[in-house]
Amino acid sequence: MSPAASNEIRTLCTTRVLAASPAAVFGAIADWRLISRWWGPAGFRSTFHTFDFRPGGRWIHTLHGPDGTDYANECRFTEIVACQRVVIEHTSAPWFELALTLAPQDGGTRIGWRQTFADTETCARLAPVCVPGNEQNLDRLAAVLADLAARR
């Protein structure tokens, strides 16, 4: 198996065109007050304990599931390029790297969401939860961006 094929098995990808500028989408990622409104699958809410949005900065938060289960998360921002790219290393189990890319498209922003796990087994085990969850994250982001645009 080639390295590219192996990497594909470890990686979940989705893209979406959002009706907002790259600057607005980046702002919804960079501002803890905004990202806390949309981060997580549908029905989840979050509590942020630390949000140090800079390369090397820590992000510690708890996702609260609709059934009352709490999910502790610890992350580190590894790369930030304003209005273009944010890379997050999820350092608590299960380890993964999440690369968010932003590019202008059709008067809005094409966001790429690329989640790479340590191994194929973890990716396969979590794909049934992560694939719909990642889409729900983007649904929630789109709703926050629409709300911000309506307030202008």
Q: Is the dihedral of CA 14, 18, 23, 27 positive or negative?
A: negative
pLDDT at 8: 53
pLDDT of 121 over the 60 cut: yes
pLDDT at 152: 84
CA distance 28 to 22: 10
pLDDT of 4 over the 50 cut: no
pLDDT tens digits, 31-61: 999 999 999 999 999 999 999 999 999 999 9
Range of the domain at 27: 3-151
Q: What is the pTM of this model?
A: 0.92
Give the total number of structural domains in the chain.
1
Mean pLDDT, the chain, whole residue set: 94
pLDDT at 93: 97
Tokens 């694939």 -> residue: 131
pLDDT tens digits, 59-72: 999 999 999 999 99
CATH classification at residue 88: 3.30.530.20
DSSP state string for the chain: --HHHHHHHHEEEEEEEESS-HHHHHHHHH-HHHHHHH-SSTT-EEEEEEE--STT-EEEEEEE-TTS-EEEEEEEEEEEETTTEEEEEE-SSSPEEEEEEEEEETTEEEEEEEEEESSHHHHHHHHHHHHHHHHHHHHHHHHHHHHHHHH-
Confidence band for 1, pLDDT divided at 50, 70 and 90: very low
